[in-house]
């Protein structure tokens, strides 16, 4: 997968590629799709949700330039695959998922894989890590894995100075990948191409259909 789908598409961050080599994606994919686990497309994980396309995960994390001292907030745990990649690269991962069943499945696999640097919360991630334990208030990096009509203000508030946030934002069925950097309390926004994610559903996202 790495050699066929990531390196040819200009993902050349060595640490990122190593994490992709290391994490077995088939563990995070439902049994019936295991034979497709190393193909470059999203797969159904139930509850109307998908495990993201590997290239898209790589592209978003490359934009974030994850460092090993980073505290990372992930919104949309889903299968837990990206959570595992993040846990290989950063110091602490705080991950939020709104569908309890998906969180249970993801957490079981991540626990089995021995990750000790992940904190989990079931709830509305458009509000970030609000009122969750441990009481972390600011994150070096934030990655949103579901599509929002706009960038939730709560997430901007929880981004540290010089921090980076990546989010697909736009229409319900097609979006642009947006990178936000916080500098001197101001946000600088750049756009990084079109994409398609499942909707981010919550008080600062979309209404449930």
CB of 205 to ligand SAH, least distance (A): 5
Q: Which residue in 23, 64, 76, 163 binds ligand SAH (CB under 6 A)?
A: 76
Q: Which residue in 59, 63, 79, 180 binds ligand SAH (CB under 6 A)?
A: 79
Q: Which residue in 64, 85, 96, 164 binds ligand SAH (CB under 6 A)?
A: 96
Query: Which range binds ligand SAH by CB under 6 A, 11-19, 96-104, 166-174, 177-185?
Result: 96-104
Is 52 an active-site residue? yes
Q: Where are the alpha helices (DSSP H) in the chain?
A: 14-22, 54-64, 81-89, 100-112, 153-157
Using rule CB under 6 A, residue 78 touches ligand SAH: yes
Residue the block writes with tokens 């600062």: 204
CB 176 within 8 A of CB 193: yes
Find the binding residues for ligand SAH in span 115-144 (CB under 6 A). 124-126
Question: Residue 118's closest CA among 138, 156, 88, 161?
Answer: 88
How many positions of this chain bind ligand SAH (CB under 6 A)?
Answer: 25
Q: Which residue in 62, 70, 97, 140 binds ligand SAH (CB under 6 A)?
A: 97
Neighbours of 42 (CB within 10 A): 19
Cα–Cα distances (Å) from 71 to 95, 135, 178, in that order, read: 11, 13, 20
Using rule CB under 6 A, residue 205 touches ligand SAH: yes
Find the binding residues for ligand SAH in span 13-72 (CB under 6 A). 49-52
Residue the block writes with tokens 């090993």: 68
Cα–Cα distances (Å) from 112 to 27, 57, 105, in that order, read: 10, 22, 11
Using rule CB under 6 A, residue 81 touches ligand SAH: yes
CA distance 161 to 180: 11
Where on the chain is the footprint of ligand SAH (CB under 6 A)?
49-52, 75-76, 78-79, 81-82, 96-99, 102, 124-126, 145-146, 198, 200-202, 205
Active site (catalytic) residues: 52
């Amino acid at each position: 997968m790495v050699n066929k789908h990531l390196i040819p598409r200009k993902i050349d961050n060595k640490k990122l590629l190593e994490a992709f080599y290391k994490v077995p994606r088939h563990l995070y994919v439902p049994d019936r799709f295991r034979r497709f686990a190393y193909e470059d497309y999203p797969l159904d994980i139930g509850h109307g949700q998908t495990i993201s396309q590997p290239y898209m995960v790589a592209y978003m994390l490359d934009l974030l330039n994850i460092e090993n001292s980073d505290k990372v907030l992930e919104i949309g745990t889903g299968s837990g695959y990206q959570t595992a990649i993040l846990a290989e690269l950063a110091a602490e991962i705080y991950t939020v998922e709104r569908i309890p069943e998906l969180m249970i499945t993801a957490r079981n696999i991540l626990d089995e894989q021995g990750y000790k640097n992940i904190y989990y919360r079931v709830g509305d991630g458009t509000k970030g890590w609000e009122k969750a334990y441990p009481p972390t208030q600011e994150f070096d990096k934030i990655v949103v894995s579901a599509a929002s009509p706009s960038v939730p203000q709560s997430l901007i508030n929880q981004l540290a100075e010089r921090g980076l946030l990546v989010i697909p934002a736009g229409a319900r069925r097609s979006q642009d990948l947006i990178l936000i950097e916080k500098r001197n309390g101001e946000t600088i926004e750049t756009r990084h191409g079109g994409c398609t994610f499942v909707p981010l559903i919550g008080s600062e996202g979309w209404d449930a259909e």
